[in-house]
Structure 1
Amino acid sequence: MRVPISSLLPADSPRLAGEDPEHVELLAAVRDLPPILVQRSTMRVIDGMHRVRAMRLRGEETIAVTFFEGDDSEAFLRAVDANIKHGLPLSLADREAAAGRILAHSPHWSDRTVAAATGLSPTTVGAIRRRSGVPAAQEGSRVGRDGRVRPVDGAAGRRRASEVIAMKPDAPLRAIAREAGVSVGTARDVRERLRAGRDPVLSSQRGTAREPDPSADGPSESQRRRTGGARQSTDWRSVLGSLSRDPAVRYAQNGRAFVRWVDGHVIEPVEWCELIDAVPPHWRNSVAELARSCAGAWLEFAQELEQRARTKSEPGVA
């Protein structure tokens, strides 16, 4: 429905610097703008302050709105989510500030849950949690994105699972997972590691760094050759934040579309561990082929970008 612009309150925005005047001018030239999102109980704008400014700039007195039913905390989460998924992307500083605010009122949320809500990496959220002095969840556990409670110390759960397996080597995976307080996927991984004579705790969870072991967590030499050489893991959220702030991307329609596309097509290195159990046994081969196809497409995409970068840097090329 349409409401008077004068009836709206400014957004409790995750944008630290407020609205961008240049983006407002760009929107003012767009004929049909989508409705803004407004918290019904307060008439406060949740998402769409740039559109409000643009409509005022055009001399409009009313604006199309969609109402949101929820409290202030839910409204802020919705504002962060909306600004990550479309429009002018939030800066890295905006997203980090939003993560700190979410942790303050929801300290029981896992780092991965907050990361998904703010477009940051779980590692970055963990650093913000420690820097802010936000207490850990009670009884050493946090609520994940799927609503399940998991221990903060994943290494401890893996050790418990290894002890259960040592005492009951023939126990079903679900029984091991239930007794150790871990997921079925974690129980399976721990059992496979023990059978291979490897440490049940992941290298990323160990207290001290170790020399890389080709037979352990990392990819084999042949796998590294196929993927173009061994490289350090990239914090793609930081890359995405920097990319979205580049004017060449920020003010181009296809640039903003590319940022949104990348955001929906990248997976964290360990994120699949929480999802793999959702694949039924009779679909595993098909999904594996699908994953391999997607990986191949990303590899071709990377090779094409590198080829264009080399061509651009060659002498005599404009």
Structure 2
Amino acid sequence: MEHVEMLVAAGTPLPPIMVHRPTTRVIDGMHRLRAAMLLGHKTIAVRFFDGTEEDAFVLAVKSNITHGLPLSAADRRRAAERIITTHPRWSDRMIASVVGTSAKTVAEIRRNADVGAAGELTRIGRDGRVRPIDVSEGRRLAHDMIVSDPSLSLRQVARAAGISPETVRDVRNRVLRGEDPVPRPRPRTPGERGTGDRSACRQADLPGRASAECEAKTPPAVVVKRLRADPALRLNENGRDLLRLLNIHTVRSEDWTRIIDSVPPHRMETVAQLARSCAEKWFEIASRIEQNASNMA
């Protein structure tokens, strides 16, 4: 209701809501609809969508990612699970671009859900092109073509082998080095983490309290970098404002020393008071965020 009241108070014309014509279900714009009702409006501008219910759900998720109230990590994960079931031929990157998460997270969800037809060889990418899931055969075919006719262009080989030109470039470089066209997984040394465990703190994989405790042990600059990658923050104006403010405080210790040393003597007391005031404000913000977190638990 806070968001609805904010829309009412804005007093500016709002974009049309989006409605699934076959079911008359609101796809995008429930807050705008409620705001119009509170204002006593009898009608509201609408854009109709005539696709399937499955595609309507995809559109609803994508709309909420790009504007409006951001979806939580749990919401995005549940959306990915549903879209993997309804659109199993979509690539991990395609689904990730819709729900606002990483392709690795989608791949993990897909593995756990065990979704996909047996013998499935291809998936549809973000650009609408169909690509093989396993490019091993495409790499071997590209290898044979390059060896038999080195004058072929990357795009010619890519079209014939069903792989990307960049993959063909890698195969060609491997041919020149006398290597196998299909890269072999590098064996792990004892105690080495996998690439998925590159960081002990991955917010998407940990419950809230465990994630917070783990992030607290991580350098602030690294944490802010992770936050900048979170679509729930970077895809809305308030989130971007927060990221900009947090980024200011990721200055290195030596830079802070340089900044402190540059304060002129006649302004030291004033700057110290302002710094203390800023610290108190951040403490208040931290307390309110923790209170919100406990209310949601």
TM-score, with length taken from structure 1: 0.59
Q: Secondary structure at the match of 1:62?
A: coil
Q: Indicate conservation of the 8 Å contact 1:92/1:238, yes or no.
A: no
Shift in alpha-carbon separation, 1:124–1:190, aligned structure 2, 3 A: same
| Partner residue in 2 for 1:37 | 18
Bigger radius of gyration:
2
Shift in alpha-carbon separation, 1:172–1:65, aligned structure 2, 3 A: closer
Shift in alpha-carbon separation, 1:303–1:50, aligned structure 2, 3 A: closer
CA offset at residue 175 of structure 1?
4.1
Which one scores higher on RCO, CA 8 angstroms, separation ≥ 6? 1
Shift in alpha-carbon separation, 1:207–1:163, aligned structure 2, 3 A: farther
Measured in 2, the distance between the counterparts of 1:57 and 1:121 equals 38
| Partner residue in 1 for 2:238 | 255
Q: Indicate conservation of the 8 Å contact 2:131/2:163, yes or no.
A: yes
2:8 aligned with 1:28, yes or no?
Answer: yes
> Residue 108 of structure 1 is aligned with which of 80, 83, 89?
89
* Stretch of structure 1 that moved more, 46-55 or 152-161: 152-161
| Partner residue in 2 for 1:307 | 251
CA offset at residue 124 of structure 1?
0.8
Shift in alpha-carbon separation, 1:153–1:49, aligned structure 2, 3 A: same
| Partner residue in 2 for 1:144 | 125
Residue deviations 1:55-85, cap 9 Å, x none? 3333444322222222212211211111111
Shift in alpha-carbon separation, 1:257–1:52, aligned structure 2, 3 A: farther
> Residue 239 of structure 1 is aligned with which of 227, 230, 237?
230
CA offset at residue 238 of structure 1?
5.8
Give the gaps of 5 or more residues in structure 1.
1-20, 212-230, 263-300
Shift in alpha-carbon separation, 1:178–1:38, aligned structure 2, 3 A: closer
Residue deviations 1:185-219, cap 9 Å, x none? 321232124324566456xx8364489xxxxxxxx
Summarize the alignment of residues 163-242 of structure 1 with structure 2, pairs less than 5 Å apart. Answer: 163-196=144-177, 200-201=181-182, 206=185, 208-209=187-188, 239-241=230-232
Q: Indicate conservation of the 8 Å contact 2:58/2:98, yes or no.
A: yes
Measured in 2, the distance between the counterparts of 1:57 and 1:153 equals 54
Give the gaps of 5 or more residues in structure 2.
191-221, 261-271, 277-297
Shift in alpha-carbon separation, 1:235–1:132, aligned structure 2, 3 A: farther
Matched to 2:250, the amino acid is: E
Q: Percent identity?
A: 46
Q: Secondary structure at the match of 1:46?
A: strand
Structure showing the higher helix proportion among its residues: 2
CA offset at residue 180 of structure 1?
2.9
2:46 aligned with 1:55, yes or no?
Answer: no
CA RMSD in angstroms comes to 3.9
